[in-house]
Structures are given as C-alpha cells and as structure tokens.
Amino acid sequence: MSAHKTRYAGVTLQVTGPRASLNRISAVMGNTLREAGRTRLFYGVLGVAVLLLLGSVVLSDLALVDQQARLVQDFGLFTIPLITVLTGVILGVALLQKEIEKKTLYAILPKPVRRSEFLLGKYFGLCTLLLLEMAALSLCWFAVLTLRGGAVTGPILSALLLSYVEVMLVTAIATFFSALSSPMLSGLLTLGMFAIGRIAYVVIDLMSATKGVFAEVPAMRALGRVIVAVVPDLSAFNVSDELLLGWDVPPEYVLQAMGYGLSYAAIFLVLGLLVFERRDLT
C-alpha cells in the first residue's frame, strides 16, 4: 500500500504506513511520559521509596557487622520491585479514565491516531517512566549497599532485570483492565492478579499433591486449573532467595523468564487492544 501524505504548515506529513504508525505511538508515548512524570503521586511514591532505602542504613545497624550488606541487599530486592509495581498499577489503571474525564481522548482519536496506537503509546510511555524510576531507586540502593560493604554483582543486575520484566507484565495487566473497566475495579483486579501471581507456585504445588483441598474437592481443583492457566507465575521473576544463598542466576534462566514474562505481557496488551477497540467512549 502506498503511503498517503498531507501538507501542514509547509511540512509534508506521512499519515499512513508502518513508520507513520510508529511516529504516532512515539508521540503518545512522549506525552504520557511527560504527564505521568509531572504527577505529585509519582514523586510522592518515589520519595517514600528513597526514604525507605535510606532507612535500610538504620536497620542495618541492628544487624551483625558481617550481615549488614546482606540486610541492605535483601531490603532493596524486596522494596524496589514492589514500589515500582505499585506505581505501575496506580498509574496504569488511570491511563484511559483520565483522558476520558478531561475530554482529551475525544480530541485525539478523530485525528489520524488509531485506538491501538493510543493505547500502545500510553503503555510504553508508562513503562519508560517506570524504568527511570527503577533506575533511580537502584542507584540509591547501590550507594547504600556499597556504604555497608556490599558489592553490585552480576546476579543482582539480573535480579533487577527480571524485576523490570515483572513490572512490564503487571503494567500490561493494568492496561488491559483499564481498557475494560473503571479505575477502582481495574486496580482491585490488577492487585488481585499480582497477589495470586506471587503465590501461584503454591497453587501449583497443591495441585500436584495427593491430599488437600485442591486434590479432594473437584470445584477447587477446577479453580486451581483456571488460576494456573490464566494467572502468570510471578515468582519466576523473583530470584532473591538464590542471591541470599549465594547462587548464580544462569543466563539461560534469565532469558527464559524474560520470554515468559514478555509473552504474557503481549497477550494482555492484545486483549486490551481488542477491548479498547470495541469500547463505547460516549
């Protein structure tokens, strides 16, 4: 298909074609990054997270001298992913509702911007903001860790990488529910899937047992099958126990976990696009 172009203010603009679509997604992405980055909520959450990380210095004073770096490491591996995920959920569920309430969505969509491009731009803009947030928190954490005699190792970087993949996945889930329902319900559903995903391995273990409610009650076993099939296993992105034991994180496992998480994120994004395309915005 040949690309159609139009002139505006003496500049030729391409309005169709893959390159034009990427340009429109990038424009929405940049606008989302600026808007979300200016919210008081974002800076409030970021400030609280930094204070928590700095507070780990005080907590480490309560530990034995040879355990201070270990405490700071465990605290950071727990706090940074959790804070970033919660930021993604809070901002992600309000992605569309804010645009609808301000009537800006009605001014954007009649232009050559498809709903799918708008939603993808919102998602990738938010993911970029969360990446910056995680990077800022990680630098603060590295400073505290170094102060307590620890070191930034390859397994720690792998753990942060997997944590960011988890953030992208949870943000995709939030985007899907945001396209489907109100912010309040979207937030509850996203947090519910996040909580279940973190303990999905427990359900899998119970499903394989010969005794227990999942083995003896048919309804619960059916529910367990649904949970295993629908809810992603977020424990795949948590390698803090391995780091605690001093084990390495194999590159093969990192690649497999990344493929697993990004595949689930793509599924939820596609579902969100399908829902948003059919949603009545009037």
Q: Token pair of 181, please?
A: 């329902």
- pLDDT at position 130, please? 92
Q: For residue range 30-71, what is the model confidence (pLDDT) as tens digits?
A: 888 887 767 776 677 777 777 777 776 666 665 555 567 778
Percent of the chain with pLDDT strictly greater than 90:
24
Give the residue-averaged pLDDT of 74-97: 84
Residue with tokens 């649904």: 226
Residue 7: pLDDT band by 50, 70, 90 thresholds? very low
Say yes or no to pLDDT of 15 above 90.
no
Residue of 68 and 80 predicted with greater confidence: 80
Average of per-residue pLDDT across 140-144: 86
| Contact indicator for 131, 164 with CB cutoff of 8 Å | yes
Q: Which two tokens stand for residue 117?
A: 């491009």
pLDDT of 150 over the 90 cut: no
Is pLDDT larger for residue 105 or for residue 24? Answer: 24
Query: Which of 160-169, 171-180, 253-262, 272-281 is least confident?
Result: 272-281
Distance CA 277, CA 282 (A): 13
Quote the tokens at residue 235: 């424990």
**CA 76, 81, 84, 89 torsion-angle sign:** negative
- Cα 145 to Cα 137: distance, rounded to the nearest angstrom: 12
Contact, 166 vs 130, CB < 8 A?
no
Mean pLDDT on 142-153? 83
Mean pLDDT of the chain: 80
Q: Which residue has the higher pLDDT, 237 or 75?
A: 237
The 10 Å Cβ neighbour count of residue 151 is: 10
Cα(5)–Cα(132) distance, rounded to whole angstroms? Answer: 35
User: What is the value of pTM for the model shown?
Assistant: 0.83
Average pLDDT value for residue range 16-39? 77
Q: What pLDDT is stored for residue 1 in this prediction?
A: 40
Flag whether pLDDT at 85 surpasses 80. yes
Please write the tens of the pLDDT for every residue from 87-129: 888 888 877 777 766 666 666 666 667 878 888 998 999 999 9
Enumerate the H helices of 18-114 as residue ranges. 18-37, 40-60, 68-92, 95-101, 104-108
